[in-house]
Amino acid sequence: MRVIAGSAKGRHLKGPPARRRGDRSAGARPSSDMVRGALFSALEAMGADYSRVLDVYAGTGALGIEALSRGAGWCDFVERDRAMSEVIRENLALTGFADQGKVFPIAVARAFERLEGAYTLILADPPYADTGAAELLERLAASRLVADDAVIALEHSTREEPRGDLGPFYLAKELRHGDSAVSIYLPAERGTTGG
């Protein structure tokens, strides 16, 4: 796993730590290089604003670090698993972005009162089996933490139909690669541009 483009292009990232059978995060599945590449190409085509990024269900931090490499000013990472949170910190140091990000080792639902916003780009890669993630993202989308012109990108299984909207955001584009899909949501005020 590596950073695909930008100032840290080619830097290798640490993956999930080896887990014992039965660990709740034993199924950690970082976004593939191909999925990340397609996602960021689509975001750039849409003119996404990378000034303040939020990476929820961050895992190794690969999505948020990719945004930092491509010019994001700041990224907050939310990852409840403490071992994975440490991997994010190590990856930030490896790529030279330790001063441009903060790791919150708490559940997404608990992060709402700790985060400051307003985020211009939200990246989410919840475990495919997490049935409550879409509802939490809908709450997030309707909160004060999200800028009016933000873009939300949600990675999910291709077996799961994407939601038509997340609060005030509508599904503008869906990308599919193998068993992974990424749904990109824009605020309703932006109409149908970029899709």
CATH number of the domain residue 121 falls in: 3.40.50.150
Averaged pLDDT for residues 37-48? 93
For residue 112, being part of any structural domain is answered with yes
For residue 17, being part of any structural domain is answered with no
- N-to-C CA span, the chain: 28
Percentage of residues of the chain with pLDDT beyond 70: 89
Is the pLDDT at 23 greater than 70? The verdict is no
For residue 27, being part of any structural domain is answered with no
The total of structural domains in the chain comes to 1
25 pLDDT band (50/70/90 cuts)?
Answer: very low
Is the pLDDT at 161 greater than 60? The verdict is yes
176: which 2 tokens? 């599919």
For residue 154, being part of any structural domain is answered with yes
Find which of 91-100, 136-145, 159-168 is predicted with most confidence, using mean pLDDT.
91-100
Bond before 118 cis per omega within 30 degrees: yes
Residues 122/150, Cβ–Cβ less than 8 Å? yes
Is the pLDDT at 190 greater than 90? The verdict is no
For residue 26, being part of any structural domain is answered with no
Residue 52: name the closest of 103, 85, 88, 101 by CA: 101
CB atoms inside a 10 Å sphere around CB 113: 8
Global pTM exceeds 0.85: yes
Phi-psi sector, 41: left (phi>0), alpha (psi -120 to 50), beta: alpha
Please give the pLDDT value at position 192: 45
For residue 22, being part of any structural domain is answered with no
171 pLDDT band (50/70/90 cuts)?
Answer: very high
Domain of 182 in residue numbering reads as 35-190
For residue 1, being part of any structural domain is answered with no
For residue 9, being part of any structural domain is answered with no
The enclosing H or E element of 55 equals strand 52-56
* Integer Cα distance of 158 and 150 in angstroms: 24
Sort 111 into a burial class: Cβ within 10 Å, 0-12 / 13-18 / 19+: buried
Percentage of residues of the chain with pLDDT beyond 90: 64
User: In Å, how far are 29, 42, 124, 167, 171 from 159, measured between CA atoms?
Assistant: 16, 21, 17, 22, 17
